[in-house]
A and B are shown apart, each in its own frame.
Chain A
Amino acid sequence: MTVVVDVNRMLGPLPHDDVPSRDETGLLAELERLRIDTACVSHAYAVHGDPRDGNGQLGLIGDRRLLPVPVLVPGPLGTGRWTGGAPLARLCPRLHGWSPTGPHARGLLAELAASGTTVLLARDEVTAAEVRVLAAAAPAPRIVLTGTGYRALRELAELLETHPSLYVDTSTLCGHRQVEWLAERYGAHRVLFGTGAPVTDDAGPRHLLDTLDLPGADVALIAGGNALRLLGGEP
C-alpha cells in the first residue's frame, strides 16, 4: 500500500482565514478525509508569529501521524539550536527578516547539513540566485523547494539540473503535467508530495497523486517514499 506523506503542512490558526486545521483534531480529520497518512507540520505561530513560540507548540502535538517541523532563524535573535531532533526544518528568511546568504545563515545551514536535516524552503522566501548560493555551499543541506508555483518550470529545471541536493514539493506545482515532466527528467526521487495546506489547496494535489501518469514505483516515491527516506536521514 502506498504511504502518503504531506511534507509541507501547517497546524494552527491563520491570521487571514478560518481553517479546520486550527487545532490538532481538525487537522487530523482533514488528513483522514484526504487519505493522507502522515503530515510534516510546522506550527502557524512559528510562521505567522514568533518562531520560538511556534516551535514550543510542537511539543504539544500528541498524534504520531504529525511530525514536528521547527521553523528556524539563525543568529543571536534567532531560535537557537534546535534540540528536538527533527529531521526536517523550515526556513522563512523573507518573512522573518534575515538574510539567507549571510554569515548567520551560513552557520545554520552548515549545522543542518552536518546533522542530516532536510530544509523546507518556500520559493517565495528566496530568490533563485539565493537558492543557487545555498545549494552550492559545502556542505549544503538537502533543500525541498516548496510552493514553487506553476510559472517557474524553466527556473526549476536549471536548479534541479545543477544542484543534486535540491528537491521540489507538489503543493503548487500545478501546471499541465509539470509533476510528470520533472519526475521523468530529473527522477521521481526529486519530487515530494506536499500541499502547503491550509494556505494552499490540499485536495487538488492529493487527487493529482492518484492520477499521475507515472510508473507505480515512481508514484510511491512521490507519495511518501521520498519523504520517509529524507526523514530517515538517508541521501
Chain B
Amino acid sequence: MSRAMDVIDAHGHIGRWSAFAITDGSAESLVAMMDRCGVATACVSHLLAVGPDARAGNALLLQALQAHPGRLLGYAVYQPHDPQGPERLRDLLDAPGVIGVKLHPEVHETALDDRAYTPAFEAAAERRRIVLAHSQHGSPWSDARHFATVSPRHPGVPLLMGHAGLFPQGFRPAVEAAERCPDLILETCGSRMTARHLVRMVAEAGADRVAFGSDAVFLDLRTGLGRVLLAGLPEPDREQVLHGTMDRLLKGIV
C-alpha cells in the first residue's frame, strides 16, 4: 500500500532496554524504518532516559533530534525522583524539537496522579507542550483511573494515554476516561491491540481522540502501522488517527 508520507508516530523510542534485546535501537535504524513505510515524523523518547538515567538519556535524545530535524521530535523524560527534575525539564522543553514530556509511572514506581508529577504537568502547561504517559490497565501506577484523576487538574494540557490501557480489558476503561476528560488522547501502540479493538476504540471515542503510535524501536513500527492501515476504519477516521490528531496537538509547537 503506497500513501503520501504524512504519518505521525505519536509514541516511539530510540535506544535499548533491559528486559530483552533490541538489535538496533539507533535513531538511524528508526528513520530508515520510517522511510520504508511512509512515516514522516516520529515522536520519541530515549530508552536510557525512561530507564536508569533520565539526564544522560535526555542528552542523547537532543543529539538525535539535532541529527534528524523534522523526522524525529522528542519527549523529554521527567524523572520524579530527580531533585533537579523540574528545572531540567523546563530547559529541555525549550530545546529545538522537544514537543513534550514522557512519564513512565511503572518504571518510576510513582502513580500518575502523584503530586510528584505536578511540576511536569505545570511545565507542559507553561510551554504549551504535550504529556505522554505510559498506561497499563490494573496497574497501581498507570491505570485509566489515574489519568482520569490527573487530567482535569491540568486543563488544556494534552495528555496522551500511551497504549490506551495496554491490555484488551483496559481499552474500554480508557475510552471511558477519554469521555470524561477532554484533554485525554488515546494512543494505539501495544502488542495486545488488534485492528478489531482499534475499530471499536475509534467508534466509541471518536477518531479525533485517537492517535497512532508504534512504540518503535521497542516494537516494530510496521506492526502498529499495519494495524491502522488495514483496520476496517472509514478512510477519514484512518487519516485522522494516522496524522490528524497529532497534527492538531503539534500545531503551534513545531
A interface list, Cβ under 8 A from B = 16-17, 19-20, 33-34, 149-154, 172, 174-179, 181, 197-198, 200-208, 210-211, 213
Contacts and interface: CB of A to CB of B under 8 A. Distances in A.
Contacts of A206: 226, 230
Given A176-B219, A202-B195, A204-B224, A153 B231 contact: no
Contacts of B21: 153-154, 175
Contacts of A16: 168
A36 to B, nearest CB: 11
A172 B219 CA distance: 10
Contacts of B176: none
A207 B230 contact: yes
Contacts of A204: 195, 222-227, 230
Contacts of A20: 196
A176 B216 contact: yes
A190 B20 CA distance: 21
Contacts of B195: 201-204
Instruction: For chain B, give the interface size range.
Output: 35 or more
B226 A177 contact: no
Contact of B191 (A34, A174, A176): A174
Given A172-B191, A198-B194, A153 B230 contact: no
A177 B23 contact: yes
A208 B225 CA distance: 9
B181 interface: no
A178 B21 CA distance: 9
Given A149-B191, A174-B191, A176-B216, A203 B29 contact: no
A126 B226 CA distance: 29
B223 A205 contact: yes
Nearest to A152: B20
Given A176-B25, A177-B23, 4 more contacts: A176-B220, A177-B33, A181-B23, A204-B226
